Amino acid sequence: MVLTVDKISELKSILQGYRDKGNKIGFVPTMGALHKGHISLVERSVEENDITVVSIFVNPTQFNDTNDLKNYPRMPEKDISLLNEAGVNLVFMPSESEMYPEPDSRVFDFGTLDKVMEGKFRPGHFNGVAQVVSKLFDIVNPHRAYFGEKDYQQLAIIRAMVGMLGYNIEIVGCPIAREPDGLAMSSRNLLLTPEHRQSAPDIYKTLADARNKTDEFSVKEMISWVEKQINSNPNLRVEYFELVDADTLLPVSSWEHPNRIVGCIAVWAGKVRLIDNLEFKK
């Protein structure tokens, strides 16, 4: 039976007991409203570690839109039931005052990593992510931590943060989980109207079609083509589509680019903002 803890001191004490016995600890940080994508991360942690900890905390410092924070779906009882079924040992559900007894004024310098794409359109978002994830890492001190590749830029920034702060934690990136119609699983999908939910799979369909057209279009032409295709659906509006270096996240100008190329996109479906990505070149 999964144990739910809301105090940092209690969690640290329990985990130290496991650590003293030589147990490997896996950690999956979440904001709740769990779906099969989250559960795929959890199942991998359960498989690869002796003890799995999942945190559920809607972190206010990573929201640059107060309405987004207010509307973020919350369903703790359902979440705990899912985690219990998945074999999780501990669920950490702190209050905001437990995590932030005083404001966190730390500012992280990620160079260009957090200035492009999501960082450009959501200023301060990744600084908030780094604040909360570093706090959680300090509390849990896991051997491994699991993050979904849907948040591709976030994964890159977490890896950079681990290097900057000297954590001895293996960061495991896990493949995007998709609905049968291709839509990337996201807690925000719950907020889509039926009409917008019907249109949303066009995002992945367009990316998958585009990947087969790299012989037809230059990088610049490809960006225009993808934007035009998605924007032709009246229920969708592209905020950005970028073809970037898989490591630096900087835009590429040619398919001859020496490193892997990833296409990253953000699309508004009504009032809900959806992100996705797909590898265009290995």
Within-domain flag for 182: no
Count CB neighbours of 110 within 10 A.
17
Q: Say whether 38 is catalytic.
A: yes
Concatenate the DSSP letters of all residues of 156-212 into one string: HHHHHHHHHHT---EEEEEPPPB-TTSPBP-GGGGG--HHHHHHTTHHHHHHHHHHT
Return per-residue pLDDT of the chain as tens, 282 residues.
Answer: 899 999 999 999 999 999 999 999 999 999 999 999 999 999 999 999 999 999 999 999 999 888 899 999 999 999 999 999 999 999 999 999 999 999 999 999 999 999 999 999 999 999 999 999 999 999 999 999 999 999 999 999 999 999 999 999 999 999 999 999 999 999 999 999 999 999 999 999 999 999 999 999 999 999 999 999 999 999 999 999 999 999 999 999 999 999 999 999 999 999 999 999 999 999
CA 15 to the chain's CA centroid: 25
Residue 93 lies inside a defined structural domain of this protein = yes
**Count of domains for the chain:** 2
The total number of residues shown for the chain amounts to 282
DSSP annotation of 64 reads S
Same-domain check for residues 129 and 24: yes
**Domain containing 219 — which CATH number?**
3.30.1300.10
**Tokens coding 162:** 């681990």
Same domain, 136 and 42: yes
69 and 132 both lie in a single domain? yes
In a domain, 180, yes or no: no
Domain of 271?
A: 187-281
Residues 38, 163, single domain; the answer is yes
Residue of 35, 38, 143, 196 marked active site = 38
Query: Distance of alpha carbon 26 from its chain centroid, rounded?
Result: 17
- Single out the residue in 132, 151, 174 at which a domain terminates: 174
Same domain, 204 and 121: no
8 in a structural domain? yes
**Is the residue at 157 inside a domain?**
yes
pTM for the whole thing? 0.96
